[in-house]
Structure 1
Amino acid sequence: MKKTLLTAATLLALGLAAQANAHESHACADEACTLQALYGGSGDSGAGIATAATSFGTWGFDTAGMDTSVAPGTDFFAYASGTWAKNTGIPADMSSYGAFRALRDLSEVRVRALVEGYALGDPATGGDTARIAAVYQGFMDEATIEKLGAAPLQPVLERVREADSHLALARLMAARDTFNTTLFGLSVADDQRDPDHYTLYMSQSGLGLGDREMYLRENFAPQRERYVAYIAQLLELAGWNDPKANAEAVMAFETKVAEAHWTRAESRDRDRTYNPVPFERFDAYAPGFPWAEYFKAAGVDQGRLAVVRQSTAVPKMAKIFAGTDVATLQAWQAFHAVDGAAPLLSSRFANAHFEFRDKFMSGQLEQRERWKRAVALVEGSLGEAVGREYVKLYFPADSKAKMDELVSNVKAAMGARLDTLEWMSPATKAEAHAKLKGFGLKIGHPETWRDYSGLRIANGDVVGNVLRSKQFEWDYRRARLGKEVDKGEWGMTPQTVNAYYNSVKNEIVFPAAILQPPFFDPKADPAVNYGGIGGVIGHEIIHGFDDQGRKSDGAGVLRDWWTAEDAAKFEAQAAKLGAQYEAFEFPQLPGLHINGRTAMGENIGDLGGLTIALEAYRRSLGGKPAPVIDGFTGEQRLFLGWAQVWRTLWRDDALRQQLVNGTHSPGHIRAFAPLRNIDAWYDAFGIKEGDPLYIAPEDRVRIW
């Protein structure tokens, strides 16, 4: 298939071809500054998201950020956001920047204002605010952390030294009150074949570089070389014997594990990743590992089985574990313990972690300010306790009402699209309609909040607080094994700038923090809202019908409800879409492309989501013509609204990480790639044959 080169305008926007032209800026430290950076003008200092939105253009779109010297059919990202990209620098403490990150900045500023208002008291009697204050202020006490040095790490390392056998190391791998790693990750979640109950899942793990490709592909040799040096550096900081030789041994061990791992694309296949194995069968299924002791140490031995996700990888990794000497396994655990704890320790540990993990691997120029890291620590430990207060201040009631209306309209549009699909048989359509009808919806925040009263937090004990939080969370999860699913539970906090679809609950979820410009503005032009949050709503709905979400029915049960003919037609169109995305080239990163199979669900979500958002917008007009605003038609504004939410700038190293480790296509690609398959986009902007983004009608992908 023809390769699609990104234009010079887009390369400039990405910070790839001319990154030096984009100034390095520092992130804002207060809400007024953050809002000014996000919306322009003076911003507001706490009036809530509706007031903040008034300065984002005049009708919800930043026309000043466009570059109209670029034709829409040449580079739609540059047309919609080229001037913004040229005038916006990636903050020095970030590896990428865009609409999502800007809203995350705003959320951080607001959370900071909340938590810094909490007085330090006795966490045992002062409730959640005292717990939050202890976690936040403990991390902010840099002088004490510096004075302690490596002392908080020593008990963790002593546990590694005491684990002087394969059995003891297996038990250590199962522990949650530690920073160690494991080959076999355990989690408790809704059972895909019995959605009313929780079950235990097991997934491949154990790689410090994240993905098997980093160990096996030739073009990642620099990353591997630097990783070995980093392992040796941390082992030396920890006082571990012979750090250089042990670093080489750890790398050799992880490389063997990487060879056993499934690819990310393989690990997405829900048919292949549901493999229940009774506990009593594990010794025969994957010999060489003390399974009974592992499950007991993890506290899940009251269960009956584990659903193994990568079925052929687990036996191979058990064999690798059995064939690896104890000294190497101890060094592997020691390194991961230091790596996990380093951000919480003195500067020599924290700086080493930053230099490799953030600067070298992702291109981030500066360490994030301490208060931002402290906010992240609080949210990781007591996220819903913060969220409970956040929504009182920053989630207006009318936002939920208008979101309910938008979701209803987009859902109705999806139903209408189902009726018109020529490639789908009546039998499959009936099942699809039943699934759509059963979609649940959660907006803003949970109805019932998490109870953190059992979490022991202590003033001044940063490392201990994190370890106890990890254990508290695991105890909360594992206690649910075999019990009925909590249908009201949320997978994100209200202050998270994101949204998701849960296939087992068959629901879409929109936290409060994403329900603000540029995604959603109650005062904006409806077309922009349909292109922004409407496209996101559609995207999440389509996740229920993407290449993996389509495998669950309306009750959330993993089963095949498709006719064989319909499934074949779907897969053929999905393959065409994957090929389109794989054709994009990144000249600064030769040999790297979007993995069409890994990103398939997200790419289908974008195409289908925007398609039904457009349908919903048309239906919302009630047969009346859309107004023309500033010379833009309604459909033009919708497509511009979509492009605006995917404004993204990248550093080269961060983009490399996204292409290798991410399941989403890079944001700047998402701004225009799905539009190339939507006929209305061609009509709206006069895109013609010969334009770089043009795709012939017969080659356009049409799924939902």
Structure 2
Amino acid sequence: MKNLCSRPWVAAATLALASCAGTKPAPVATAPATAAPVAATTPDPAGVGLDMADIDRSVNPCDDFYQFSGGNWLRNNPVPSYASSWGPRNLLGNRTQDLLRKILEDAAANTNAAPGSNAQKVGDFYASAMDTLAIEKAGLTPLKPELARLAAVRDKAALRAAIVRLQELQTGVFFRGGVQVDEKNTSQYAVAFDQGGLTLPDRDFYFKDDARTQKVKAAYQSYMTEIFGLLGDSPAVAQRNAAAVERIESRLAKASRTRVELRDPQSNYNKMTVAAAQKRYPALDPKNLLADMKLSKAQEIIVGQPAFFDELNAVLKTEPLADLKTYMRWHLVRSVASALPTAYADAAFRFNQVQTGAKQQASRWKRIQAATDQTLGEAFGQLYVDQAFSPEAKAKALEMVTNIKASMAEHIRTNTWMTDPTKAEALKKLNALRVKIGYPDVWKDYSDLKITRESYLKNVLAARQWNAKRRTAKFGGPIDRNEWGMTPPTINAYYNPPLNEIVFPAGYLQPPFFDPKADDAINYGAIGGVMGHEITHAFDDQGRQYDSEGNLRDWWTPADAAEFTKRANVVGKQYDAFTPLDSVHVNGKLTMGENLADFAGLTVVYGALQKQLQQRYGDSPRPKYDGFTPEQRFFLSWAQLRRTNIRPEALRQQIATDPHSPGQYRTIGPMMNMPQFQAAFGCKEGDKMIRPAAERAVIW
């Protein structure tokens, strides 16, 4: 996962191309040169990390490696009723959640924890959230001060103050704004405004007319009407209010850039003086808005999408004040529905259900565990790391990253289409890449955040305000290079372009993604594949636009940039052709960055594995486990971690909104272009898993 969100308001939410001279192994029982279905007979010892029962040996690996590698698992692991998709990451998540639950319950039971300590804050937060009787009894009482503040708005100054307040409370009204690293001068922070303000998952949902979109829109309208009714509006008023919100959001959506357009970092960097912004957007009133945000020292703003803010300015100027307040009231309540009485949370789930196909909500403790991680991530994370992450695991992970970086450097140096000046800049960037493993070197200080057992909602609002103030306080100060965008228990990773760093939380560094007991092929195919994926995000179609210091600067010669784009477009066309559902195609432009990272990362890591095997075994025969060579186990490891069952509703939404391709195409997409895969499994030209040489995508 690439994280272009050093921007604080973006939620953080994951690998190629070496030389094609991989050594072709002798034919083995699991991959006969004839590419017949694989037999299960083998005298080789059992290995660690692959489940042989998951492999569907009735499928030819050269025809459909996704089904071969995990077809039995896919048949035997349907999506649970509370989930929208299901895969190895979910299974690891369940194991991790069991430990996290114990940590939370122990903290909640410890009423004698030192006041202000992480244990006290985590324990009290969890206890308040699990006290459903108190939440039901309190009703809207904890939210009434915010509702009253909004109801009292009578003029533009009060409206502006209300917008700032709701920005602090992370309600998502109108736009996203705050302090971020300046992407063209990464030695300083800047103030940035970006499009936002929508409830539906994507701008296109407001305009498309297909049956599925209409179903989601109907659920959206029902959701709003129900919430306004719970707030005390009569049925007729609730319907009018829902219509007002939809009208305002539709205006914002029409002016919003598409997800593909948002992938262009240059077009999303539009720095203007505050005076110029004030002149262009007088109804938004940036000068006084920044003053209310405690950012009056800012002389410039980076406006992500100027045309969106033209429309937002028009909305603030032309929409009735009562309707603007209704829109803001909706987003305030919607943003905290999970901390309100059951009726509100259930309404939110029913809306989500239509989008994802989930049959029931996850257990409350699971939802609150996730909320604790989101709200008190590093306080909670410290308690987790103490029990779950060893120094040995961190050392092994760092060793693997070093080896993979070395492989990437070799691929850059031996690249046949890139000129020497561009290679020098690429190597400079690779050498400057910072690596974070496990958990932060410097933890967040929560001492100014007050958490009690009095009210879950009050705790949520207090934490949001605390976080907003902490972000704002960064302006004018030095860049905090110790900060993490994910919490230690997170089962994910990211690349951050402005800081030129890759980050691997402790939650990811455990089986099946990382297992010290497994052979090198398994670990390189699993967590190594993720490492290669994140490293090569620095050189995908977006990441390549940032230099070694993270600045958004074109360091490519025009010829090299044109050649890269030409090669990347081959990848885009390949993914455009994938059709997971009738009439639903993968969007090759939206998924370009993740696909390129899969392509490049997988081959770079394959090269790193070959070096590791050479160091370990020299010219001696390399051992097989479970009847598979190291090369075969490498590809199986990659594939088995991407097997996913997903509900049709969730798959359609993924295609529309997610920059990651579905798991089956993350498996077969890169391998279809890799001679290394062809050699490992004895595939021949004409097999379904092998693209003709003239059609292959080759980047590095």
TM above 0.5, yes or no, is yes
Which of the residues 91, 102, 125 maps onto 1:113?
Answer: 102
- Name the structure 1 match of 2:607: 615
Corresponding residue for residue 634 of structure 2:
638
Q: Is the 8 A contact 2:514 2:527 kept in 1?
A: yes
**Pick aligned residue for 2:92 from 85, 103, 122:** 103
- Aligned 8 A contact 1:153 1:341 in 2: no
SS for the counterpart of 1:80 is helix
**Are residue 207 (structure 1) and residue 198 (structure 2) matched?**
yes
1:319 Cα offset (Å): 1.4
Alignment partner, residue 207 of structure 2: 216
Cα deviations across residues 493-513 of structure 1 (Å, max 9, x unaligned)?
111111111112211111111
- Kindly tell me: are residues 442 and 179 of structure 1, through their superposed partners in 2, closer, same or farther at Cα, counting changes over 3 Å? closer
Determine the structure 2 residue equivalent to 1:674: 670
Q: Matches of 2:580 and 2:207 in 1, distance apart?
A: 21
Distance change in 2, residues 1:497/1:347 (3 Å): same
- Whether 1:515 and 2:509 are equivalent positions in the alignment is yes
The partner residue of 2:218 within 221, 225, 228 is 225
Question: For residues 537 and 297 of structure 1, what CA distance do their matches in structure 2 show?
Answer: 42
Aligned ranges 1:546-585 → 2 under 5 Å = 546-585=540-579
Contact 1:179 1:336 in 2 (8 A): no
Give the 5 Å matches for 1:426-575: 426-575=420-569
Deviation at 1:104, TM superposition (A): 2.0
Deviation at 1:126, TM superposition (A): 4.4
Residue 622 of structure 2 aligns with which residue? 626
Cα shift at 1:122: 7.8
Structure 1 Cα separation of the partners of residues 81 and 476 of structure 2: 47
**Count of aligned pairs between the two proteins:** 645
Deviates more, 1:237-246 or 1:562-571: 237-246
What corresponds to 2:160 in structure 1?
170
1:157 to partner: Cα distance? 2.1
CA distance in 2, matches of 1:500, 1:368: 26
SS of alignment partner, residue 195 of structure 1: coil
The answer (yes or no) to whether the contact 2:433–2:501 under 8 Å persists in 1 is: yes
Give the match for residue 314 of structure 1. 309
Deviations along 1:603-638, one digit per CA (max 9) or x if unpaired, are 100000001000001111224343222221111111
SS in 1 for 2:474: coil
* Distance in 2 (alpha carbons) for counterparts of 1:373 and 1:296: 37
State the partner residue of 1:237: 230
Equivalent residue number for residue 586 of structure 2: 594
The alpha-carbon deviation at position 582 of structure 1 amounts to 1.3
Comparing 147-156 and 73-82, the one that deviates more: 147-156
1:652 is the counterpart of 2:681: no
Secondary structure of the corresponding residue to residue 202 of structure 1: strand
1:377 to 371, 377, 385: 371
Does the CA-based 8 Å contact 2:672-2:690 persist in structure 1?
yes
Pair 180,124 (structure 1): closer, same or farther in 2 beyond 3 Å: farther
**With structure 2 as the length reference, what TM-score do the two structures score?**
0.89
Moved more, 600-609 or 284-293: 284-293
Residues in 2 aligned to 1:100 and 1:285: alpha-carbon distance in whole angstroms: 47
* Paired amino acid for 2:696: R
Checking the alignment, whether the CA contact within 8 Å between 2:580 and 2:586 is kept in structure 1 is no
Q: Could you tell me whether the CA contact under 8 Å between 2:671 and 2:689 is conserved in 1?
A: no
Q: Offset of 1:290 from its aligned partner?
A: 2.2
Does the residue aligned with 2:106 lie in a helix, a strand or coil?
A: coil
Measured after TM superposition, the shift of residue 516 of structure 1 is 1.1
Between 68-77 and 431-440, the greater mean CA deviation after superposition = 68-77
Structure 2 Cα separation of the partners of residues 594 and 128 of structure 1 = 44
Cα distance in 2, alignment partners of residues 222 and 105 from structure 1:
31
The letter for the 2-side match of 1:224 is: K
Matches of 2:168 and 2:149, distance apart in 1: 11
| 1:122/1:459 CA distance change after superposition, 3 Å | farther
> What displacement does 1:689 show?
3.7
Aligned equivalent of 1:28:
none
Aligned to 1:584, what secondary structure does the other structure show?
coil
SS in 1 for 2:668: coil
Q: Please give the residue correspondences for 1:264-279 in structure 2 after superposition, counting only pairs within 5 Å.
A: 264-279=259-274
Q: What RMSD over aligned residues (CA atoms) do the two structures have, in Å? A: 1.7
For residues 421-463 of structure 1, what are the alpha-carbon distances to aligned partners after superposition, in whole Å with 9 as ceiling and x for unaligned? 1110111111111111111111111111111010011212111
Deviation at 1:700, TM superposition (A): 0.7
- Alignment match of 2:694 (pick from 690, 694, 698): 698
Aligned residue identity for 1:72: P
Matched, 1:686 2:677: no
TM-score normalised over the length of structure 1: 0.89
* Contact 2:52/2:626 (8 A) holds in 1: no
How far is 1:265 from its partner?
Answer: 1.2
The whole-number CA distance in structure 2 between the counterparts of 1:276 and 1:436 is 28
Per-residue CA deviation, residues 561-606 of structure 1 (Å, 9 max, x unaligned), is: 100000001001111101111111123xx44322212211111000
Deviation at 1:301, TM superposition (A): 2.1
User: In structure 2, what is the equivalent of residue 78 of structure 1?
Assistant: 67
Deviation at 1:59, TM superposition (A): 2.1
Mark the runs of 5 or more structure 1 residues left unpaired by the alignment. Answer: 1-56
Report the AA paired with residue 99 of structure 1.
P
SS at match of 1:117: helix
Contact 2:542 2:593 in 1 (8 A): yes
- Which residue matches 1:348? 343
* Amino acid aligned to 2:180: A
Residues 1:143 and 2:146 aligned together: no
Distance in structure 1 (CA, Å) of the matches to 2:294 and 2:275: 16
CA distance in 1, matches of 2:419, 2:479: 34
1:55-66 alignment, distance < 5 Å:
58-66=47-55
Structure 2: how far apart are the matches of 1:143 and 1:347?
10
Cα offset, 1:124, TM superposition: 8.6
Contact 1:428 / 1:563 at 8 angstroms: preserved in 2? yes
In the TM superposition, what is the alpha-carbon distance from 1:354 to its structure 2 partner?
Answer: 0.9
Shift of 1:178: 3.8
Q: Does 1:133 align with 2:129?
A: no
% identical aligned pairs: 39
| Distance in 2, Cα, partners of 1:287 & 1:266 | 26
After alignment, is 456-465 or 313-322 more displaced?
A: 313-322
2:632/2:681 contact within 8 Å kept: yes
Contact 1:172 1:180 in 2 (8 A): no
Tell me whether 1:69 sits opposite 2:64 in the alignment: no
* Range with bigger deviation, 426-435 or 57-66: 57-66
Paired with 1:197 and 1:298, the residues of 2 have a C-alpha distance of 19
